[in-house]
Homo-oligomer: A and B are copies of this chain.
Amino acid sequence: MKTVRELDLNDAIRLIEGAQAHAIRIGVPMCIAVTDSAGNLLAFRRMDGGKITSITIAIDKAFTAAAARKATHDYGEASQPGRPAYGINTAIGGRLMVVAGGLPVSVDGEVVGAVGVSSGTPGEDREVAQAALDHFAVAAAA
């Protein structure tokens, strides 16, 4: 038997609120998803103006970051032509996302969930996902 730590719903909402506040600051309405460590959805918000295509993409970025315990932008590099993970983006029916914007949420070095963001450029998506993690870390430390 083992014991695992998991995000609860309040943690998920805190992560989303951190992302949403930053999305407002940069003026890009986003789809924001938070999953548990198994990649299953905990909470989701589509801000007014977020893209319809980004619903699934945000959820799948969070799924990938949690369930593979890896930032989606790291997969982006590893899956370039000629690189070891080339072609991985079609795995799991296309759910394995290699575009930036999915980040694992870790506590004491252990992945407890993930956040996925989509609707901006991949750089903006990643920045907003990072803002979620920063906001969560501050709240956890308080």
Chain A positions near chain B (C-beta within 8 angstroms) = 1-9, 11-13, 36, 38-48, 51-57, 60, 63-64, 66-69, 75-76, 79-82, 84-94, 96-100, 107, 112, 121-123
| Contact in complex: B90, A94 (CB < 8 Å) | yes
Q: How far is the CA of A39 from the CA of B56 in the complex (A)?
A: 13
In whole angstroms, how far apart are the Cα atoms of A66 and B68 in the complex? 21
Q: Is the CB of A68 within 8 A of B53?
A: yes
Selected contact of A89 from candidates B6, B51, B87, B122, CB within 8 Å: B87
Cα A23 to Cα B99 with chains together (Å): 29
How many copies of the chain does the oligomer comprise? 4
A63 → chain B, closest Cβ, in Å?
A: 8
| Contact (Cβ within 8 A) A88 B92 | no
Q: Find out whether the CB atom of B52 lies under 8 angstroms from the CB atom of A39.
A: yes
Beta-carbon contact of B68 and A64 below 8 Å = no
User: What's the least CB distance linking A43 to chain B, in Å?
Assistant: 5
When distances are taken between beta carbons in the complex, the residues of chain B under 8 Å from A44 are 41, 43-44
In the assembled complex, the CB of A72 is this many whole angstroms from the nearest CB of chain B, namely 9
- Whether the pair A1, B9 counts as a contact (CB closer than 8 A) is no
A107 to B2, CA, bound (A): 12
B85 touches A91 (CB 8 A): no
> Distance in Å from the Cβ of A62 to the closest Cβ of chain B?
12
Complex-state Cα separation, A88 to B53, whole angstroms: 11
Please, which residues of chain B bring their CB within 8 A of the CB of A60? 91
